[in-house]
Amino acid sequence: MPAYPRTRMRRNRRTAWSRALVRENVLTVDDLIWPCFVHAGAHSQDVPSMPGVARLSLTDLVENVVAARDLGIPAVAIFPVLDASLKTLDGERAWDPDNLICQAVRRVKAAAPDIGVICDVALDPFTSHGQDGIVRDGIILNDETVVALQKQAVVQAQAGCDVIAPSDMMDGRIGAVRDALDAAKLPDTQILSYAAKYASAFYGPFRDAVGSKAALGAADKRTYQQDPGNSDEALREVALDLEEGADMVMVKPGMPYLDVLRRVKDRFAVPTMVYQVSGEYAMLHAAAQNGWLDRDSVMLESLMAFKRAGADGILTYAALDVARRLRAG
Ligand code: PBG
């Protein structure tokens, strides 16, 4: 390519039509997944560390999912918030077919059958200690947890969940969950693996929302979630989950891990989701509330960054707002 002055990079940028023509990536409503919280109370409750996010009552959840569907959002990811008194050492409520999340899925599917419903598979909303697995003597037991996750996956899929999303990071859980779904005659239930999930401090506001922060106390999840210093390891995690039968994989958190997202997409060329986690959402909103950043612009720019880094889909708490913005043009 000839250099300046024959080449002038600004030529293509001079007009809006030209910028539109040469744009390499676009963000559309089809890219969005809306993560949301449901609780058993009659009224929705704001989550203070996530402005604009609430623990929704079942009725409000259904209403909002219908709104998401009407906006063209392809899927929602529903997280249950249990009262502390219902949490146990082993999290047995996770595989109770009448638990809150199964009730929520049935209600949502009845009202909006044509939007995808994603459910986490992990024990943390259900355990009194806030860990994603079964704990004995301070150790998170891998294989015992995997059996619990199989049961949790099956009740959720039987309730109508379309996509099972193991977020627990136990070894071998994708293959085990696939086997359990197939044995329960649910071969069409998809699996979205939280394949490269880091032990991140950016999950703080989510843990406020589901109440697992108080339960966790000073404990952490570093014996199962990945070390933020590693990215080759993420590729091994993704390879294993695909071998075990994952239909889609996820990188999480998002913005601090764009390099991992790009490596995963380049290496495997499979449907790759990214999670703009609670702490990322909280940072952008907190700055916007102070008048330091323009909320809508930084949100759209950060979601575009995920597309540029190779994401096929993005979980964002701002999905409804963003969909409205995108539709307004
Ligand atoms: C549960 C789970 C977490 C998130 C999604 N599923 C928290 C954690 O692993 O502690 C985090 C989502 C967010 O921060 O927005 N296993």
Number of domains in the chain: 1
Residues in the chain: 329
Q: Is 151 a member of any domain?
A: yes
Query: How far is C-alpha 186 from the chain's CA centre?
Result: 22
Q: Is 98 a member of any domain?
A: yes
Reading the chain (329 residues) residue by residue, the pLDDT tens digits are 899 999 999 999 999 999 999 999 999 999 999 999 999 999 999 999 999 999 999 999 999 999 999 999 999 999 999 999 999 999 999 999 999 999 999 999 999 999 999 999 999 999 999 999 999 999 999 999 999 999 999 999 999 999 999 999 999 999 999 999 999 999 999 999 999 999 999 999 999 999 888 889 999 999 999 999 999 999 999 999 999 999 999 999 999 999 999 999 999 999 999 999 999 999 999 999 999 999 999 999 999 999 999 999 999 999 999 999 999 97
CB 106 within 8 A of CB 61: no
**Ligand 1 binding residues, C-beta < 6 A:** 120, 122, 124, 132, 167-168, 203, 206-207, 221, 277-278
CB 264 within 8 A of CB 275: no
- Look up residue 79 and give its two tokens: 């997280």
Q: Is 296 a member of any domain?
A: yes
* 3 state SS of 289: helix
Q: Give yes or no: 87 in active site.
A: no
- Minimal CA–CA distance to 69: which of 118, 119, 112? 112
Q: Is 19 a member of any domain?
A: no
Q: Is 195 a member of any domain?
A: yes
Q: Is 21 a member of any domain?
A: no
Q: Is 133 a member of any domain?
A: yes
Task: Specify the residue with its C-alpha closest to ligand 1, atom 14.
Answer: 203
Residue from 197, 221, 265, 307 carrying the catalytic annotation: 197
What domain range is 111 assigned to?
Answer: 26-328
CATH of the domain at 160: 3.20.20.70
Q: What does the DSSP assignment read for 56-109? A: E-HHHHHHHHHHHHHHT--EEEEEEE--GGG-BSS-GGGG-TTSHHHHHHHHHH
Q: Is 1 a member of any domain?
A: no
